[in-house]
Amino acid sequence: MDHFAAHANGDTEFSGGFNDSAAFNDDGDLGAATNGATDTAVSKKEQQAKELADNLAKLKEQGWNNPIPFNYQTVYGGEAGADEPRDEAKWLSNAAIYEWDDDFGEVGPPNEELEKVLFHGEYLMRAGVQLEALAFDVEMFGPEKVHPISKFDDAGLHPVMRENIRLCRYVNPTPIQCYCIPAVLTGRDVVACAQTGSGKTAAYLIPILSKLMGKARMLAAPRPNPTRYNPVTDRVRAEPLVLVVCPTRELACQIFDECRRLCYRTMLRPCVIYGGAPTRGQREQLEMGCDILIATPGRLLDFMRNPGLLSFARLKFTVIDEADELFSGGWEETIESLFQGNGTNTNADADHMYLMFSATFPKLARRMARDYMDEDYVRIKVGRVGSTHTNIHQDVIYVDEGAKNQCLFDLIFSGGPQRTLIFVNTKVKCDMVDDFLYNKGLPSTSIHSDRTQREREDALRAFRTAKCPILVATGVSARGLDVTSVKHVINYDLPSTQHDGITEYIHRIGRTARIGNEGKATSFFNDRNEDIAPDLCKILAETKQEIPEFLQSFAPEDPKNIQWHDNTDDENEAEVEAGAVAGFGGGFDCFGDNSRDVNDTARRGFQPEEGFQTEEGFQAESPWGDNNDKMGTW
Ligand SMILES: Nc1ncnc2c1ncn2[C@@H]1O[C@H](COP(=O)(O)OP(=O)(O)OP(=O)(O)O)[C@@H](O)[C@H]1O
């Protein structure tokens, strides 16, 4: 039964929903019912109610908030997120942006209300103190040396961008930012691989937007003044300067969010279009003008079919984010047509820059880089492609399939209240696990691709605001999720090697311990997961985690010399050896010695912000904020 449906009915009695807790009752032998069907039903119901009441009391004592039923009628009525100003809009594509008045000079005046929404929300991600763990070796390949920055102030950024970075509380650039920002500023095409949660979005948005600031008046298409906008007479065609394509709706919304912050007080107008939400609102936003367009590929194709609505004639930057995901999702033709400009009237000027970001770097991505990017494109690699960092404490425990639910409950209960993300491998299981937890009295919700976009946005909002601090998700739907204070990721199911195996594992656990914070990942392992065991052990060894006894037979022989064959970064392919790949292999190392460069500046550059933890109402390491013991302050 659909847990959401039960919630929608306001069914707080916990009756009627899926509940397999009988499997864990002390005397849960259903066959022992001898007093007739009615008696059994009554006593089972009573027993469940008692069990639930006990659970609720225990959970409450521990600090968990009560499960909150969703009421989608109310949500549709517009009350959603009323206590989270950030998401006041019904759809994230309509979230507030800085509205530029023609009367402004070069830079618009502050807007206090919007500033609060964009920069001061308690649910915004803040850097933690364990930033050293992100100090990976950085390799850069390209035709000439690009000097990495160690401070944002050294990058020659537009003053408004510097101010917006300060408002975001980004004190120092992350390693990928140290390299990517100057590379983009020098006008080169860039291909970059970096770990999850390492600030890739800002690594391309900061230099691109900074380059456009001050030139927007000259480059941007004419647009109506929003303060005097008449939707009947003033509509324009959207002619963005920047296009960002990414694989998931949630990621598109997150990039849009970051863009709203970094465009603050400028005339650059960001818009986001993504599937599942009504096209109308998104179209209306484009008709008010659009300089930065963030899009998922399906909705982008839809809108591109209407040249009166969207044109790429002015496009200066095309960014492909999570390229590996887009390619494995079957979008390679769409991406290729964007690169080619075929039928898209894309501006093909020499100054049109292409950027490609990817956690791994599959063959298809390499071919596109070779075929469509400038010969002298820069390639940046932070750490080993597809690796993770030591801020995540990884545990693997042996759990038989049938014991997973109880184990999950015990694990969550023993961990105490904390934002927890649970991954399963199928949509059906996603609903089942969510229902199980909810019926046990835990505040959970779930997200997967069969949910409507309305439900997906609401589930994420509930998770972000900790109304439902437990989110059950399938891997695909939670890819790229950037939610503050996710303290525990649980792989209820480990990903199989047929579904991206260890790469998927890395993405999943990367939802915790982001940007210098710490977190925990627990994976349930049993005989069904043997396919992933060798790679899992390599990751555990590489990140100096304990390899449990039952996995010892899969442990790498020499933990100091782990061999990876991830097929993402094979420099020895014939084509590369033949020098056909410009920029790497065929190109030469930017640092002159044609070998790997380890840049200490970048390693030292990313330091925790002084006083960050002591700031009122915020503790980098605590989900609770100062002196708080309530869920509401997550
Ligand atoms: N220099 C910085 N200092 C502090 N926080 C930062 C900095 N740069 C980015 N962030 C924040 O870090 C978080 C993670 O960034 P982002 O989502 O871009 O990571 P990512 O590398 O794209 O991760 P993933 O691969 O998992 O999608 C975001 O909330 C972002 O606002």
pLDDT tens digits along 90-134: 678 888 889 888 777 778 889 998 998 888 766 676 666 666 666
With a cut of 90, say whether residue 507 has pLDDT above it.
no
Query: Residue 139 — φ and ψ, nearest 5°?
Result: -115, 140
CA 333 – CA 370 distance, rounded (Å)? 16
Distance CA 522, CA 380 (A): 31
- Tell me the CA–centroid distance for residue 380 and ligand 1, in Å: 17
Q: Is the CB of 253 under 6 A from ligand 1?
A: no
- The H-or-E segment that residue 140 falls in is strand 138-141
- Is the predicted pLDDT of residue 623 greater than 60, yes or no? no
pLDDT of residue 155: 93
39 vs 46: CA distance, rounded Å? 10
Q: How far is CA 539 from the centre of its chain?
A: 21
Residue 190 · residue 184 · CB < 8 Å = yes
Considering only residues 152 and 250, tell me which one the structure prediction assigns the higher pLDDT: 152
> How far, in Å, from the CA of 510 to the mean position of ligand 1?
11
Q: Which residues pair with 488 in a beta bridge?
A: 420, 520
Tell me what pLDDT residue 75 has.
Answer: 33
Q: In the predicted model, what is the mean pLDDT of the chain?
A: 76
For residue 332, pLDDT beyond 80: yes
Q: Are 108 and 268 in contact (CB under 8 A)?
A: no
Distance CA 242, CA 184 (A): 13
Please state which of the ranges 357-371, 413-427, 447-461, 490-504 shows the lowest mean pLDDT.
Answer: 357-371
Query: How far is it, in rounded angstroms, from Cα 508 to Cα 528?
Result: 19
Residue 196, ligand 1, Cβ within 6 A: yes
Rounded-to-integer distance, Cα 109 and Cα 107, Å: 7
Q: Are 264 and 292 in contact (CB under 8 A)?
A: no
Instruction: Report pLDDT for 80.
Output: 37
β-pairing, 292-295 with 419-424? unpaired
First to last CA, the chain: 30
Ligand 1 centroid from CA 607, angstroms? 15
510 ligand 1 Cβ < 6 A: yes
Quote ipTM for the complex: 0.97
Q: Which residue has the higher pLDDT, 135 or 567?
A: 135
Q: Tell me: the pLDDT tens digits for 199-236?
A: 899 999 999 999 999 888 888 888 888 777 777 777 88
- What φ, ψ does residue 497 adopt, rounded to 5°? -65, -20
The pLDDT of residue 36: 60
Interval between CA 261 and ligand 1 midpoint (Å): 13
pLDDT at 497: 85
Instruction: Determine the atom of ligand 1 nearest the C-alpha atom of 258.
Output: 31
The residue that leads in pLDDT, 447 or 588, is 447
pLDDT band (50, 70, 90) for residue 18: very low
Question: Does 9 score more than 80 pLDDT?
Answer: no
pTM (predicted TM-score): 0.76
Q: Which atom of ligand 1 is nearest to the CA of 321?
A: 22
Placement of tokens 């942006």 in the chain: 97
Alpha-carbon span 453 to 568, nearest angstrom: 33
Element of type H or E holding 357:
strand 353-358
Distance, in Å, from the CA atom of 111 to the CA atom of 227, rounded to the nearest integer, reads 14
Nearest by Cα to 17 from 26, 25, 9: 9
Probe residue for ligand 1, chosen from 125, 164, 322 as the CB with the greatest number of ligand atoms within 8 Å: 125
Question: How many angstroms separate the alpha carbon of residue 258 from the centre of ligand 1?
Answer: 9
Report the pLDDT value the prediction gives residue 498, as an integer from 0 to 100.
81
Run of H or E including 470:
strand 470-474
Instruction: Label residue 284 exposed, middle or buried (CB < 10 Å: 0-12, 13-18, 19+).
Output: middle
CA nearest neighbour of 283 among 311, 305, 310: 310
What is the reported pLDDT for 579?
33
Residue 64: exposed, middle, or buried by beta-carbon count in 10 A (0-12, 13-18, 19+)? buried
Structure tokens at 9: 């009915």
**315 CB contacts (<8 Å, ≥6 apart)?**
240, 241, 242, 243, 346, 347, 352
How many angstroms separate the CA atoms of 381 and 397, rounded? 32
Helices 249-262 and 453-464: crossing angle, nearest 10°?
60
**pLDDT of res. 142:** 82
Q: Do residues 150 and 605 lie in contact, with contact meaning Cβ atoms separated by under 8 Å?
A: yes
- What is the pLDDT confidence band of residue 416, given thresholds at 50, 70 and 90? confident
How many angstroms separate the Cα of 503 from the Cα of each of 294, 374, 567? 25, 29, 12
Asked if residue 127 has its Cβ within 6 Å of ligand 1, the reply is: yes
Check if 480 has its Cβ closer than 6 Å to any atom of ligand 1.
yes
Q: What are 11's two structure tokens?
A: 């069914």
What b/e string do you get for 356-366 counting C-beta neighbours within 10 Å, with b at 16 or more?
Answer: bbbbbbbebbb
- Which of 27-31, 531-535, 575-579, 620-624 is least confident? 620-624
Specify the pLDDT at position 342.
54
pLDDT score for 209: 97
Mean pLDDT calculated for residue range 164-178: 92
- Do strands 353-358 and 392-398 pair parallel, antiparallel, or not at all (unpaired)? unpaired
Cα radius of gyration rounded to whole Å, the chain = 25
Higher pLDDT, 248 or 522: 522
Find which of 59-63, 97-101, 122-126, 148-152 is predicted with most confidence, using mean pLDDT. Answer: 148-152
Amino acid code (one letter) for 606: F
Whether 377 is in the pocket of ligand 1, judged by its Cβ within 6 Å, is no
Tell me the pairing of strands 470-474 and 270-273: unpaired
| Averaged pLDDT for residues 301-317 | 91
Q: Is the dihedral of CA 332, 338, 341, 345 positive or negative?
A: positive
Task: Report whether residue 200 contacts ligand 1, using a CB cutoff of 6 Å.
Answer: yes
Q: What is the C-alpha separation between 433 and 548, in angstroms, rounded?
A: 26
Question: Of the residues 206, 257, 482, which should be mutated to test ligand 1's pocket, given the most ligand atoms within 8 Å of the CB?
Answer: 482
What is the spatial distance between Cα 540 and Cα 520, in angstroms, rounded to a whole number? 13
Q: How many alpha carbons lie under 13 Å from residue 333 in its C-beta half-sphere?
A: 4
- pLDDT for the residue 527: 94
More confident residue, 266 or 620: 266
Regarding the beta carbon of 508 and ligand 1, being less than 6 Å apart is answered: no
Euclidean distance between CA atoms 551 and 559, whole angstroms: 14
**Entry field: residues in the chain:** 634
**Distances from the Cα of 129 to the Cα of 501, 596, 603, angstroms:** 30, 28, 14
- CA distances (Å), 581 to each of 143, 146, 355, 461, in order? 12, 19, 16, 44
pLDDT at 163 over 90: yes
Angstrom distance (rounded) from CA 107 to CA 100: 9
